[in-house]
Every structure is written in structure tokens, then in C-alpha cells.
Chain A
Amino acid sequence: MATNVLLDTTITRAMGADDGPGAAVAWRKVLWERQPYPDNYVDRRFLEELRRNEGLRQYRYWAVVQEAGLVGEQLSCVAIFITLWLYMEEGLLSPETLLVISLASSLLGYGLYQALASQAQPVLQPRTRLADLQSAAIFLAFIFGFSPVLKTLTESVSTDTVYAMSAIMLLAHLVSFPYAYPSTPGCLSLNAALFASVCLASRLPGTLHTFTMLSCALMVFALWPCLLGQVKDRAPRYFAAVCAGVCAAGVGGLASRWPVGAAILALALVSVMLMCPWLLVRLQRHKDNIHGPWDEAEIREDLSRFLH
């Protein structure tokens, strides 16, 4: 019975819509009351709560370029690592030399890191020197102990497979790197980089080579981003200079062994650091976001008062 009645009133209402809105009754945006308007009637206030491009940020070109510097810098890091490997493989660089250099530079970097960290206010739980020493000892012992095993790992795998695997892993490293917070190591990025370095290091002709390569990889992929993060936080004026320096070193180093690669790297750097920010700024004007009361609610208030 109820459905029949409803059907009747809808039909009459639909039939009555051609006559225009009902007289002298204001339309309200509710559906639980019968109104003399059809169900899909809207008045002049339709979409008055629509807002376009709310909270749109206007990027400035050079700021974006500076932020993009980190991406380019990471690309160059990978290039520097590959350069070192190329040198070791062709026998131009002896492992002892590289070992000494990397140890010296890691000590230097450690000192710099401590200097920068002590500038800022002390963090709640700083790592003690002893813990750092312990970590370093564990790393070195582990690599040294396992390098004979690691050396024979890819003996029976063909060269092409090794190169392909390393390339994919380094790409994964670049893609998953935590560019926003470089201090905290991203799991997948670090693991992928280490996997690629093990693959490459096992191709080298000696156990000491493997050891050196892996220590180098540890330094470049694990320790350097921490230092870089500190520099970015504490001394932002020098950050751009550091990035530029690293990029130049990467291109130059690669150019000495593999010019084609250097050219590709330069092209990539230019496109990432110069062209992409320009594109970003240019395309901002085409942005067309709409916001309204139909959006999902965002909790903006500070909930930390519940945490005590």
C-alpha cells in the first residue's frame, strides 16, 4: 500500500514539475519532507560551496631546483660507485689504496657529523661513540668474514645476468630512496643497493677487492646519506654546494672510464635538476582541484593532548 501511494505522489509531482516550482514555499535541501518541488530540483545556491584549487602552493623555481638537487646528487652517488668499481675491475686502482681512502674519508665524515650534531640541541637518545664503534666493528668483521663466500656467489652466473640484476637493483634503490628524510635509511633502498654491490663485488678478481668494494658500498649508500641529511638540516647554505660538487665528481669520474655513460648521466642530471622543476612550475597553472563539503573529513586538531 505504501509503495503504491509513493508511486502516485511521485507521478503527480513529476507531472506537476512542468508547471514550475510551487508557489511561495522556499525550497530546502532536504529529502525527508514532502515539498512541492521535484526531487532533483536545485535552486540558485547550487554549488556555492565549491572551492577551486584551495591551498595551492606557488612554487618558486630555484627553491624547487635546490630540492631536486638531492635527486641528482643520489644519481651521482651511484655513478661514483660504478666508477670505483670500474677502476677496480680494470686493475687501475688497487684495493689497499681504496681501502685507505675510504677509511680516511669515513673518519672525516664521522667527525663532521659529530660537529654538526653537537651544534643543534641534544636529541633525547643520542648514539654513544661506543655504539658507533661497535657497529663499525660488526660491519667490518662481517664483511671480512664473509668475503670469501661472497666472492664465489656469482661464479656460475653469466655476466649479463649479473649486470642486469645490478642495474635493476640500483634503479630500485633510486626509486625507493627516502628523499624527504635522507637521514633515516629506507629499508628497500638500502637493501637493493647492497644487493647490487654484492653482485658487482663478486665479479672482482680477489677477496680483498670484494672486501674493499663492500666497505665502499656501505660508506656510499649507508653512511653518506646520514651525513647529507645532517648537512641539509643544520647547514642549508652549504647543501647546494655539496650537491653540485658531488654531481660534478660523478660526471667527471664516469667520463674518465666510460664517456657514453657520462653523457647519459649529464643528460639525466640536467633533466632532473633543471627541466623538471621548470615543468612543475609551468604546469601548476593547469591545476584544477575542486574542494567542497563532500570531501573526506581531515582531522586537523592536535591530538597530542590525548597522549599523556
Chain B
Amino acid sequence: MMLVRTRASVLFYKHNTITQHSFAVTRRICCVIKVLRKEALVMVLKVFFPQCCNLAASGLLVGRWIPHHDSAVVLAVIHYPFIPSHVKRYIQQMAAQSRVDLSVLGSWSLPQDGQEGMESFLRDLSTMFPRQRWLQISRRLGHKGFTCCLLGSTWPPKERKVMLSQLHPIQNGFPQSQDDTLSELRQVFHTVSSSGPLFFLDKYDDGPLKSTHWQSEGREGSIIVEILKQASVPVCIVLSRILALWTWICSMRVFCVFPLPFLWSKLSSCVQLSYRSQHLKALSSQKTADNHMQFIRKANVFVSFLVDIGLGLFLASWLYKDNNISMIANMLVPAADHVAKELVDLLQWLMGAPAGLKMNRALDQVLGRFFLYHIHLWINYVHLLSPFMESILWYGGLSACLGLSFALSLLSDVVAFLTFHIYCFYVYGARLYCLKIYGLSSLWRLFRGKKWNVLRQRVDSCSYDLDQLFIGTLLFTILLFLLPTTALYYLVFTLLRLVIIMFQGVIHLSVDFLNSFPIFAIGLRVCRPYRLAEGVRFRVLSEEPGSALHLLMEINPMKSSAVVHTYRTPTYSCYPKDSWGALIKKLFVGELIYPWTYKSAKGHAAKAE
């Protein structure tokens, strides 16, 4: 008993696999742990008793003995007076309907004024319902504790002490999942959730039987949810038709010509659109969710979709009032001009003697003129577009109605277009620099008389011919002296590119946040914390020597951080592909960097299911 007490005061353990439905009905349970002393041998019997029945009138206990464990779950109390044959028939009916192994467990007595002689009656009941074990639980008004005793044949004591953590043992961090050896708690909850038909009868019914049970205090439900459930069926059908049409349009051959699929995969707005349409497809399918995780995920997707569209409409309303669009359009072309002018100034500075560095004049002039010509082309292109800018923005702003995340990804794409020339410069500079570094390292090995052994992946000595040596040394000298020039151009354009990547990264992160944050789960955690559980909690209610140990079992809600972590919607999130060290090494060598990569949404969805 000492052991039970120390374990029982507060107990937490983690398991997330108890079904959601069972939590809806079992908000609070009492657990009565009974210790019987028989000939100096101690055996422990656990009875799970609903809290709603604490004040029920006397009657019969109906429930289930859990096999292989010394426990019983009480599901309902059928009140006195009753006719035994009716009760037997009722129980058989319910057992057939709910496929739960129901039986009469024993008797419950809460003596109220004016009811004497119950004890003998209750004892006779055990003969009416012949069973091997017969529980007698009784309580006095005003006392907290219950008194229990067990009649019937004894069975060999299996347990001398009870470890409450053994109620749901987890080995190696994974809960057991075989059906035969379901843990005790899982069987309790499973029993309660499967015996739905038993809970239709109420103590105010006019029929021959009256009962009090788990759901006597009111069933869990709300009118809005019921209306939504009814309305969702035709809406789903309409939505799936629209989506089928959209998918058919998207898969037309004209969009699969070579450069287009590549373009679609690079534009983040297209990726976002396909991601959302996948979500809608999953939402509008007719079948209900199989398990708890899927349900929460679907609900998250739905709610975040609504929130997204709401925010997008808000943004659109701001854009279209007070002529904001033309204001933005009028700002845009001068801004592009300003950027181009700054770039030209920068290139002029590089073509001089920047920071006192020694540049090779000829190469400097060549590179500088090349990039200046590009900027000239770019400015002409922007000026060509400027009369249409306002209408483009107007139609683009309509896309905000599709959701704030779509508008943000469209913004990211627009920024990518506007800075395409910087991207081009970066690629040229990086390729030139990479080639130079590669050539230099190879020729440096030649300078020392060594060679890279590809088979052994190491540097070996090598005897070169005279002409190889000669030409190699000449090239080495040339590359070495041209290195500062190329390196400077590369540095400048890489910095510019990094700035733009940072900006795009911020936008992508916020889109990712909108996509994946589990709003529904957080709302559920705030309003109905018992629906998201992370185990059960035990509290000692009464512990008197000679009577049974009385514990209160409550559901332990998950922490908010755990909720976010578990129920995040998997997205095509962009995450950094390389670690910092690898990124710096790539920058140093001159390889092109793509710091953000997209995981494919399909791969993720497949992994999640």
C-alpha cells in the first residue's frame, strides 16, 4: 500500500495513442484501487468507476472485466427497482450491438433516507446473477471514501503491489500496438468508447430500466458542429468537382512543353498553389478521417485555409481602396531605375581602382563593360513595361483573394523577376571565379610536380613532359595575376545576391509559418484541453486504512509547445540545405549556392500517411 501511495499522488507519462473519441466521453474517471487481505496474502483489484455515478441511486453495476488484468470498468448503474429478466435481456442486446463483453459486475449502494433493508436485497442479487466474482461497492453520503468488498471464489493472487506506470507500459519509447496485449488503460478507454449504445438510456426515461452512466452529465456536442457536418457533404461534392476541373486544366499537354514545368517548379506562387490545391483535394474527399491524427490534420488545414483567405481578403480590401495600387505602381519604376543607377555607380568604382587594390586593367575593363551592357538592357526592359505596370499590379492584387500566403509568394516571385539581372551577374561572376580557382589549384599542383590521383583520391607525384611544364607554368602565372580582379567582382555580386536571398527567405519563412501552424489544434488546446491528451494523472482522494484506496484519474492535457510540434502540417518547407560550414566553403570555392530547397509536397504527403 505504501508503494501505491507514492506512485499515485501525481503521475505523468506520455502516450498519444488513446483514441480521440474516448476522451470526448471520458472526461473524469474515478479509479478505485482495492486491496484485499486474505490469509496474509495481498491482492490488488482495480475498479474504474465514472465520476458521474458518484451520486447515483443504488442499483446494479454493469460493465466489463478486463481480461488478463485484475481490473473492471464500470459503465453504468441500473437503478432499483428493476426486473432481473429485463436487465439480462437489455445487457445481451447491448452486448450484441456494441460488441463489448458486458456483464453485471456487482452492486452499488448509496443509502438514502427511507430505504432500509437494501443490504440483504443487494446480497441476494448475487444469487440472481450468478457470477464468479461479485463486487459490492457502497458509499455513505457525506463520506468521501467507498467501501468495497469482493464476493465469490478467490483466484490466485497475481499482484502484491501495483505500479501505476504498468497500466500503460511503453517499451523503448514506443507504445505497444498488438491487439492481444493491449495495455490496461487502452482497454479501459476502448471499452468506454465502444459502448456507445449503452449511453442512450437515461435515468429520466420512462421505460422499464433507468440507468446512470458516463454521459449522464450531458453529451459532448454542439449545434454548430452538427450543422457543419450536415452542410459539408454537398459542399464537398461541389469542391471536388471544381478541383477535378482545375486538375484537368493543369495537366493539359500545352503546359507540359519543356521549359514550362521547370518554370512552374521554380516559381514559388505556383508551388504554393499546387500545395493548396492538394490540401483542398484531401479536404473534399468523402471519406472521414481514420484516426485522430488525420482528423486534427484535416481540421488544421481547413482552419488555416480559412484564416489565410480571410487575411488575403483583408489585404485586398486595403490594396483596392484609396488608389493604393497606382501609388505602388508609380513608386515601382523609379525604384528600379534607382537600383540600376546604383549598380552602374558600383561598376564604375570597380573599374577604377577600388579600395586601392591592384586590378588588371584590361580584364577590369572587359568585365565592367560586359556588366554595364547588361544593366543597360535591363533598364530598357523595365521602361518598356512601365505603362502596363498599373494594370499588372491591379490584376496581381486580385490574387490576394486566394490567400495571404499566395500573395506573399507572388511578391517573392516579383522580387525575383525584378532582380533577375543581379542573379545573372552572380552566376557569371561565380562561374568565372570557380573556373579560375579550379585551374589555379590544378596548376599549382603541376608547379610542385604533383598530380591529383582520381582513383585514390589523393595527390601523387608525377613526372611531366617539358611542354606540359612550360604551358602549365605560363597559365599558372596568368591565372594568378588575374585572380584579384575576378575575386573582387565575384565578391561584390555574391554580396548583392545574398541580400536578395535573405529577403526572399524572410518571405518564404512567413509563408511557411502560415502554411504549417496548427491553428485548430491550438484552439482546441485552449478551449477544450482534455481533447488533446498526453497521458493521465492520478490524484489521491481518500486513503484510509481498512478501506480501498481511492484515486482520481484525470486527463493530462498536452503542453502547447508539444501541440505545435506534433500537429504541424508538413509543408514543402524551404529549409537550409547546407550547414554554415558547407555554405562558406561553397562561397570560397565559387560554387553556385541555392540556400533554400523545396521538399516536394508529394513526397511529404506520402511520408505523412
Task: Mark the stretch among A55-63, A88-96, A149-157, A272-280 that contacts chain B.
Answer: A149-157
Q: What DSSP secondary structure best describes chain B's contact surface?
A: helix
Chain A residue total in the interface (Cβ 8 A): 27
Residues of B within 8 A of A86 (CB): none
**Complex contacts, B473 vs chain A, CB 8 Å:** 190-191, 194-195, 198
Q: What's the nearest-Cβ distance from chain A to residue B460, in Å? A: 13
Q: Which of A122-173 contact B (CB under 8 A)?
A: 135, 138-139, 142-143, 146, 149-150, 152-157
Instruction: Pick out which of these stretches binds chain A: B93-101, B103-111, B358-366, B600-608.
Output: B358-366
Q: Is B477 within 8 A of A195, CB to CB?
A: yes
Set of chain A residues within 8 Å of B575, measured between Cβ atoms = none
In the assembled complex, which residues on chain B have CB atoms less than 8 Å from the CB atom of A154?
481
Total residue contacts A-B, CB cutoff 8 A: 75
What's the Cα separation between A199 and B474 when bound, in Å? 11
Contact residues in B for A142 (Cβ distance below 8 Å): 470-471, 474
Cα-based distance from A140 to B361 in the complex (angstroms): 26
Contact A198 B471 (CB under 8 A): no
Is there a chain B Cβ closer than 8 Å to A246's Cβ? Answer: no
Question: Could you give, for residues 454-477 of chain B, a 1 whenever the CB lies within 8 Å of some chain A CB and a 0 otherwise?
Answer: 000000000110110111111011
* A residues less than 8 Å from B334 (CB atoms): none
The residue of chain B having its C-beta at the shortest distance from the C-beta of A153 within the complex is: B481
Is the CB–CB distance between B469 and A198 below 8 Å?
no
Instruction: Judge whether B446 is part of the interface by a CB distance below 8 angstroms.
Output: yes
- At the interface, yes or no: A187 with Cβ under 8 Å from chain B? yes
Q: At the interface, yes or no: B503 with Cβ under 8 Å from chain A?
A: no
Given contacts A135-B467, A187-B464, A222-B466, contact A194 B474 (CB under 8 A): yes
Tell me if B160 counts as interface (CB < 8 A to partner A).
Answer: no
Q: Which residues in B have their C-beta under 8 angstroms from that of A156?
A: 358-361
Q: Is A64 at the interface (CB under 8 A from chain B)?
A: no
A189 to B467, CA, bound (A): 14
Contact check, B467 vs A187: say whether CB atoms are below 8 A apart.
Answer: no
The answer on a CB contact under 8 Å between B477 and A135 is no
Q: Does B253 contact A (CB under 8 A)?
A: no
Please name all residues of chain A whose beta carbon is closer than 8 Å to the beta carbon of B470 when the two chains form the complex: 139, 142, 190, 194, 218, 222
Tell me, rounded to whole Å, the shortest Cβ–Cβ distance linking B274 to chain A: 51
Contact of B469 (CB < 8 Å), options: A146, A155, A157, A190:
A190
The interface centre, meaning the residue of B362, B448, B470 with most chain A CB atoms within 10 A of its CB, is B470
**The residue from B446, B477, B482 contacting A187, defined by CB atoms under 8 A apart:** B446
Give complex CA distance A238, B358 in Å. 50
- Given A152-B362, A155-B361: A198 and B466 within 8 A (CB)? no
Q: Which residues of B contact A150 (CB under 8 A)?
A: 474, 477-478
| A187-B474 in contact (CB<8A) | no
Asked if B466 contacts A135 (CB within 8 A), the reply is yes
Cβ contacts under 8 Å, B396 to chain A: none
A188 contacts across to B, CB distance below 8 A: 447-449
Measured between alpha carbons, how far is A142 from B470 in the docked complex, in Å? 10
The answer to whether B469 touches A185 (Cβ under 8 A) is: yes
A139 in contact with B360 (CB, 8 Å):
no
Nearest Cβ on chain B to A248's Cβ, whole angstroms: 28
A156 to B478 CA separation, bound complex (whole angstroms): 14
A157 touches B474 (CB 8 A): no
Enumerate B331-366 residues with CB–CB distance to A below 8 Å. 358-362
Q: Chain B contacts of A186 at CB under 8 A?
A: 449
CB distance from B482 to the nearest CB of A (A): 8
A218 to B471, CA, bound (A): 11
With A and B bound together, what is the CA distance between A156 and B466 in angstroms?
31
B421-460 interface code vs A (CB 8 A; 1 in, 0 out)? 0000000000000000000000000111100000000000
Which residues does chain B contribute within 8 Å of A218, judged by CB atoms?
470
Question: Are A187 and B466 in contact, with the CB atoms below 8 A?
Answer: no
Minimum CB–CB distance for B489 against chain A, Å = 16
Residues of B within 8 A of A198 (CB): 473-474, 477
CA distance A152 to B474 in the complex (A): 14
Contact indicator B360/A195 (Cβ below 8 Å) = no
Interface 1/0 per residue, A199-216 and B, CB below 8 Å: 100000000000000000
Distance in angstroms from A56 CB to nearest chain B CB is 32
Q: A65-85: which residues lie under 8 A (CB-CB) from chain B?
A: none
With both beta carbons as reference points, the residue of chain B lying nearest to A156 in the complex is identified as: B358
> Given contacts A155-B361, A156-B359, is CB(A146)–CB(B474) below 8 Å?
yes
- Give the docked Cα–Cα distance between A157 and B470 (Å): 23
Closest B residue to A149 by beta carbon equals: B478
Q: How far is the CB of A104 from chain B (nearest CB, A)?
A: 21
Q: Would A138 and B478 count as touching, CB distance under 8 A?
A: no
A152 x B360 contact (CB < 8 A):
yes
Which of A135, A156, A186 is the most central at the interface, judged by chain B CB atoms within 10 Å of its CB?
A156
Known contacts A152-B361, A156-B358, A198-B477: A187-B448 contact under CB 8 Å: yes
A143 to B470 Cα, complex, angstroms: 10
Closest to A190 in B: B469
CB distance from A151 to the nearest CB of B (A): 10
Q: A150-B474, A153-B477, A198-B474 are in contact. Are A191 and B360 (CB under 8 A)?
A: no
On chain B, the residues within 8 Å of A139 by CB distance are 467, 470
Q: Are B447 and A191 in contact (CB under 8 A)?
A: yes
- What are 23 A-B interface contacts by the 8 Å CB criterion? A138-B467, A142-B470, A142-B471, A149-B478, A152-B361, A152-B362, A153-B477, A154-B481, A157-B358, A187-B446, A187-B447, A187-B448, A187-B463, A188-B448, A188-B449, A190-B466, A190-B470, A194-B473, A194-B477, A195-B476, A198-B473, A218-B470, A222-B470
Residue positions of A touching B, CB distance < 8 A: 135, 138-139, 142-143, 146, 149-150, 152-157, 184-188, 190-191, 194-195, 198-199, 218, 222
A190-B470, A195-B477 known; 20 new pairs, CB 8 Å cut-off, are: A138-B471, A139-B467, A142-B471, A142-B474, A146-B474, A146-B478, A149-B478, A150-B474, A152-B361, A152-B362, A153-B360, A153-B478, A187-B463, A187-B469, A188-B447, A191-B447, A191-B469, A194-B470, A194-B474, A218-B470
Which 5 pairs between the two chains have the least Cβ-Cβ distance?
A: A187-B449, A156-B358, A153-B481, A194-B473, A191-B473
